[in-house]
Amino acid sequence: MAKVKVALIGVGNCSSSLLQGIQYYSKLQKPEDCIGLRNPVLAGISPKDIEVVAAFDVDDRKVALDLAEAIFAKPNNAPKVCDVPKSGVKVTKGPLLDGVGESTKALVSISNVADANVAKVLRASSVEMMLNLLPSGATKASEFYAEQALAAGCAFVNATPNFIASDPTWAKKFEAAKLPLVGDDLVDQVGSTALHKTLLKLLSDNGVRINETYQLDVGGGTESVDTMDRTRDTKRTIKTESVATAIPYKAEIVAGSTDYVDFLQNKRDSYFWISGEYFCNTPMKIDLKFQTVDAPNAGSVLFDVIRAVKLALIKKQKGALEPICAYGFKRPPKMVSLEEAEKQFKKFLA
């Protein structure tokens, strides 16, 4: 299998975990040794077949550095699990636009290097797909890079909650260009939203009537700062709509980010509360806390999405690809249950 050539938009914590994950799993020969991966091999493609050939950022502590060094530069604080050898890929200066919010300006040191011609860099590196890993509030920047993907003739993966794949206008643009588009808002491998939905479905399937439930997330890191500043309401809408698909009736549901705590760094605490009734209207309540590290939580799903998009390129599929969107993202073009998403994804792979 030829390498899957990928470009990264934003060399932050998720990029750090992705690069480290490629290195970590490439050393493992047997699928049974690949603990932490849902699919050690997907569509005949292994993690070692993924090659990052271009990367864009605006922080002068990362621009012009080898990608292997840039992923460990401040303000990144994703855990280091392995050394990453120099790749020969230099981080390119992209346009700032709205990529840095008011609350994160103190955390980012903006480079004064001239902006690169993004489409030219993509073509020169033979990029097959771009991964949009910008902060959640970077709406204009996300749209800019989507346009560059169209100009360069490569697929676009929108991991942010900005509406790209779920926007019919963008979907039509990528369909017209005969390119795959997937998004929006990447799910976590062990995500609070998926866990919440699973609990609600389990209870509902067993006859419990859910009356009220909430899921509140508190995190550290620059993404949490940006969410509080610019996309708190959007994220809450996306998560609440996603959670609502887990039960077949109306209930009072609130789900979303609530605060930033700096000393949590790249960790996230999620709190769940569920209130309902079971046999003979007997009341029940569930109160849970759940902690994860953000950046590694994206790695396994990104591996699957990258390999699925490669398969879509081989199949010459175009536009917003619903099976991949439903499987890997919180806000696909069409909201479906977890079970239906799994069914669609397996059918696509087959």
pLDDT tens per residue across span 70-82: 999 999 999 999 9
Ordered alpha helix ranges (H), 137-280: 139-152, 168-176, 192-205, 221-226, 232-244
Is the pLDDT at 231 greater than 80? The verdict is: no
Domains and CATH numbers, the chain: 4-187+296-349 (3.40.50.720), 192-294 (3.30.360.10)
Question: In which band, very low, low, confident or very high, does the pLDDT at 248 lie, cut at 50, 70 and 90?
Answer: very high
What's residue 97's pLDDT?
A: 95
The mean pLDDT of the chain is 94
Nearest to 190 by CA among 117, 293, 273: 293
Q: Are 157 and 305 in contact (CB under 8 A)?
A: yes
Question: How far is 242 from 237, CA to CA, in rounded Å?
Answer: 8
Phi/psi region, residue 242 (left: phi>0; alpha: psi -120 to 50; beta: rest), is alpha
Mind listing the pLDDT tens digit for each residue in 252-296?
999 988 888 989 988 999 999 999 999 999 999 999 999 999 899
Most confident residue range from 40-44, 143-147, 243-247, 253-257 = 143-147
Question: In which band, very low, low, confident or very high, does the pLDDT at 155 lie, cut at 50, 70 and 90?
Answer: very high
Is the pLDDT at 113 greater than 90? The verdict is: yes
Mind listing the pLDDT tens digit for each residue in 158-201?
999 999 999 999 999 999 999 999 999 999 999 898 899 999 99
Question: How far is 146 from 123, CA to CA, in rounded Å?
Answer: 14
What is the largest distance, in Å, between two alpha-carbon atoms of the chain? 69
Nearest to 186 by CA among 325, 1, 283, 66: 325
Question: How far is 147 from 168, CA to CA, in rounded Å?
Answer: 15
What's residue 106's pLDDT?
A: 81
For 68-92, the DSSP string reads HHHTTSTT--PPP-S-----SPBPE
What's residue 265's pLDDT?
A: 87
Residues of the chain above pLDDT 90, percent: 82
* Higher pLDDT among residues 297 and 260, named by residue: 297
Is the pLDDT at 1 greater than 70? The verdict is: no
Question: In which band, very low, low, confident or very high, does the pLDDT at 226 lie, cut at 50, 70 and 90?
Answer: confident
* Start-to-end CA span in the chain (Å): 18
What's residue 2's pLDDT?
A: 77
Is the pLDDT at 54 greater than 80? The verdict is: yes
Q: Are strands 50-57 and 252-260 parallel, antiparallel or unpaired?
A: unpaired
